[in-house]
Every structure is written in structure tokens, then in C-alpha cells.
Amino acid sequence: MLVLEDGQVGYGDCATGQYSGIGGRDKPFFSKEVVSFIQKEIAPRLIDIEVRDFRETASIIENWVINGQRLHTGISYGVTQAVLDIVAKYKKMTMAEVIAEEYGTKLAKERIPILIQTGDDRYIGADKGIMKRAEILPHALINKVEGLTGKNAERLYKYATWVRNRIQQIGEKDYKPIIHLDVYGTIGYAFNQDLNKVVSYIKKLEEAVKPYPLQLEMPIDMGSKEATMEAFKKMKEMFKKEGIKTRVIVDEWGNTLEQIKEWADAKVADIIQVKTIDVGGINRVIEAIIYCKNRGVGAYLGGTCNETDISARVCANVAIATQPDQMLAKSGVSVNFSGVVRRRLEKKQNSHNNNFLPW
């Protein structure tokens, strides 16, 4: 919380990802450590600071080196949110208007397409997304081969077919969403990283979900940025030969602004996820989206299931000001977060023979 001289307060929430520390991401952090660090190292630097514009102030904060280290991306994320909020209040503008003014962008006149993520409730969550007419769904958290993708990716095929059928069964006649599946590299794992088999499978998957467009997030993950980028390049070349229209999205190994620029320049992915908590400061999130668009590559304003209502509001303003191709529904795991938490708490309470207090 940053307080202006006139008493107005700017808010920002630090956040970390569910998969911190892997895929080239910044290390995990824990709330007690973060609070202590901010109180000791960040707060003194912010007291009496002149905050008249967002871009310059956020850049200064992003470049701070404390105890020989740059700020953790999650801390930059939260602190720069508060700066953006307080500049907007100082100027009596929305955060989106501040961004558009300082970065020379145009505000969106239409809603940004929203991707919902079902979390572990892949069927009920998909139903909710269909009933709410989500533009893109279901994400589905396909994060392991066993039990989700299947040894020959047969389980993923079955689920994708179910989603297609379910849209037609309960969706309105004019509802035509994009089917987006985040598979965490598991298609590659299922076929031992054999690109010929991977591409052949994706071609069948694309046919199975027609007439709806298909997007696959991280169909393969080779364990490093360089190897994954090379595999994406070969895969896209094979797509062209086979006439495959499926759009592939990079998440892991495209974490920082610098890495996002590398992927955008290489043009080996159709869409790059700008994963807010991994990129760092809101200024970098903005710059990443703008860079992707300028390079003719799709930008997906992502995030984490650890987002809060505060960080979600900031991201909504960023989306309105920068117009990414799609954005992740927030906060929490989209349509189904409270249901997942409730069932897990019920299970935990029952295992301890305690009475569960209904919410």
C-alpha cells in the first residue's frame, strides 16, 4: 500500500506461480520472507519518492539491486502495481488510460477474449465455461502423462473430443469458442519427444475438435529454452507441410522480457504467454505485449492461480490498454477455484473427524 500526500492509497499484490523455480522461472518465495524483505529493503526506498508518472518510476524500481541481487519477479510485480494505481489516482485517470498515455497505445473498444481455466475440475469447469460463453476454454491443467494425457495421449484425445461434443450439447447455437489445452509438454513426453509422432497426433486432435479452432500450450518441452525453441521451429515447419492449423503457445522458457523478445524474434510460436508473475514489473508486462504485437506474434496475457482481485484488476487495465489476443480469467483458477478449495477442505476436515463449517 502506497499513500499519497492527500491520503489516497495505491494497492499492489505480490504473487508467485504454482510452478515457481522450474522451466527457467524465478525461485519460490514465501509470504513471511517477502513481507520482511519489503519492510526492511523496499519501504525505505519508497518513502518520499516523487511519483508523477508510471513508466519511469517502475523502470527505476525494476533496476534496483539489493544485496547484490535484482528484485524477485513477484516483488516487482506487486510494487509496480501499487505505483500504477497511485499514478492513476494522482492523475484522476484509470490505470488503462495512464498506460495508453505513457506507452502510446490505444484503448480497446471491444472485450478482450478471455481464457478460462478449469483447474482439476475439468468437466464441471468446462460446463461452467460453456454456459458463461467463455471465448476460449478449458485450459484443463493437463500436467502429467499418467492419468491425464495417457501413454499414447489417448486420454487427452478423449477429453478434447468430449469438450467438442459438450459445446454442441449445451452451448448456444451461435457459440463458437476456441479450444485451448495447456499440456505442459506431455504430448512430447507421451511420444518420447518423437516430433513425427507428436505432429501426427496433433493433426488427429485438430480433426477431432472441429469445427472449433485448436490451441495447444506447450505441446513439447525439451528441458531448456534453446532445445525447446528448436523443437518448436521444426514442429511448425512440419505443420506447414501437413496443413495443420493448430496454434501453438509457449509458456515455459519464455519467462522474462528478454526471453519473450527472443521467442517473438524467432517466430516459432503462434502465441507467447506473457506470464505476469514471471515477467516481473507491470511495466515489463506492458512492454512484452507491445513487443509481441509489433513483431506480428500473438500475445497472451497470462498469470497464475495465485492472482488476487487486486492484481486481476490491474491486469484487466493492462489488457484494455495493450489489447493482447487473449487474457487469462482471474482471480484464482477461473470459474472453479472456490469449488476445488471447498472439496479439498471438506476432505481434509472429514479425515480429521471434525465438523465442517459450510461457507
Q: Which residue numbers are catalytic?
A: 275
Output b/e per residue, 116-144; b: 16+ Cβ within 10 A: bbbbebbeebbbbbbeeebbbbbbbbbbe
Pairing relation of β-strands 69-70 and 65-66?
A: antiparallel
For the chain, the residue count is 359
Task: Please give the Cα distance from 163 to 165 (Å, whole number).
Answer: 5
Cβ atoms of 230 and 224 within 8 Å: the answer is no
CA-CA distances (angstroms) from residue 264 to 17, 160, 195?
A: 23, 28, 22
Q: Which residues, 6+ apart, have CB-to-CB distance to 274 below 8 Å?
A: 260, 285, 288, 289, 292, 299, 300, 301, 302, 324
Q: Which DSSP symbol is given to 20?
A: T
Task: For residue 180, give every residue at least 6 positions away whose Cβ sits within 8 Å of its Cβ, in sequence order, or none.
Answer: 115, 136, 137, 138, 139, 214, 215, 216, 217, 249
Of 196, 179, 180, give the one whose Cα is nearest residue 188: 196
Task: Mention every residue, 6+ apart, whose C-beta is less than 8 A from residue 201.
Answer: 153, 157, 187, 191
Q: What residues contact residue 28 under an 8 Å CB cut-off, 6+ apart?
A: 16, 20, 21
* Contact assessment for residue 193 and residue 162, using Cβ atoms and an 8 Å cutoff: no
> 172 and 133 in contact (C-beta within 8 Å)?
yes
Residues 184, 233: Cα–Cα separation, whole Å = 18
2 bridge partner residues: 10
**Interatomic CA distance for residues 276 and 318, integer angstroms:** 11
- For every residue of 162-207, DSSP letters joined together read HHHHHHHHHS-TT--PEEEEE-TTHHHHHTTT-HHHHHHHHHHHHH
